[in-house]
Amino acid sequence: MEFVWTYEKNHPQQIKYFLKEKGISKGLLAKIKFQGGEIKVNGQTENVLFSLSYNDKVTIVIPAEGEHETVLLDETPIEIVYEDEHLLVVNKPAGVSSIPAQYHPNYTMANRVKAYYKRQGYENQVIHVVTRLDRDTSGLMLFAKHGFAHAKLDVQLREKRFVKKYQALVSGEITKLAPHGWIDLPIARDQSSLLKRMVSTAGRSAQTEYWLTKNTAEVALVDIQLHTGRTHQIRVHFSEIGCALLGDEMYGGRMDLGIARQALHCYDLRFDHPFTQERLEFKQPLAKDMATVLQHFES
């Protein structure tokens, strides 16, 4: 894969510092040097110590990544929301994990995406997951199609330039939900479980912002934005205020309303394209099982 920039500074600068400003890490530089890549200035091959002058044309060729041979193929089709040479946005169904685990090496979104890359004949087939979702959460999920894109997107994540919003169906004390509210409660591991979390003064700070979108006699639809990223944060917070997610048996959610998984859906994803800087915004309609439940109580 090839990237081209024009050097626009009036003072000389070594290539290695210029490339660092462009997001090229030391690891990626080593890969370019030792695995078949190339650095060129005005069409001539140069090393990282070469000094650039105004208007020089800098080209880097990043070698193909091949594939993770240990990642198995799952030929289940994926629902593509957006794709270009750098990015892939998919709609993940509920019940599918994001990545393989030791005892569950297949049938995840990573396995499905690898099979898709294979079918397309892409030269880069390493799977780069940028935004994960829990197995029973549906909705938008972002993959980078090569390591350089992944690195630049990770910078945006660290700088909190991503917007990632969810919709959830909750029940219980829904009359107490404000039109717009914050839940600011620390979360810690529940010592009685390997997976479960709980609100605890000994936990880490956690903030969840929500908007009440629809309210019926039995269930409410809330839009949610996380301002921290604790495990099970949405599920724990809404359970703690008496409004557990439908289908969320672990945290006391109702299991008798026609949905058997936590009623949580990532519907809104926004970030800057890592190379064009265009602000990308994606919306995904509410998952069918959640929409069906909501329609039932609205009618």
* Domain locations in the chain as residue ranges: 2-61, 65-159, 164-266+292-296
Predicted TM-score (pTM) above 0.85: yes
Dist. CA 127–CA 275, nearest whole Å: 19
More confident residue, 68 or 108: 108
Q: For residue 236, name the pLDDT band (cuts at 50, 70, 90).
A: very high
pLDDT number for residue 293:
96
Q: For residue 234, name the pLDDT band (cuts at 50, 70, 90).
A: very high
pLDDT number for residue 299:
77
- What six digits make up the tokens of 169? 């169906």
Dist. CA 187–CA 185, nearest whole Å: 7
Say yes or no to pLDDT of 57 above 90: yes
Say yes or no to pLDDT of 8 above 90: yes
pLDDT number for residue 222:
98
- What six digits make up the tokens of 23? 């997001």
For residues 177 and 222, the answer to whether their CB atoms sit within 8 Å is yes
Could you tell me where the DSSP H helices lie in 121-194?
147-158
Nearest to 61 by CA among 73, 82, 45, 75: 45
Q: Which tens digit of pLDDT belongs to each residue from 58-90?
A: 999 999 998 888 899 999 999 999 999 999 999
Mean pLDDT of 227-251: 97
Residues identified as active-site: 134
Mean pLDDT of 160-174: 97
Give the DSSP letter of residue 219: -
Element (H, E) at 5: strand 2-6
β pairing state of 207-215 and 124-125:
unpaired
Fold of 65-159: Pseudouridine synthase (3.30.2350)
CATH, domain range 164-266+292-296: 3.30.2350.10
Please count the CA atoms within 13 angstroms of the CA of 168 that sit on its side-chain side: 31
Say yes or no to pLDDT of 3 above 90: yes
pLDDT number for residue 177:
97
Mean pLDDT of 213-217: 95
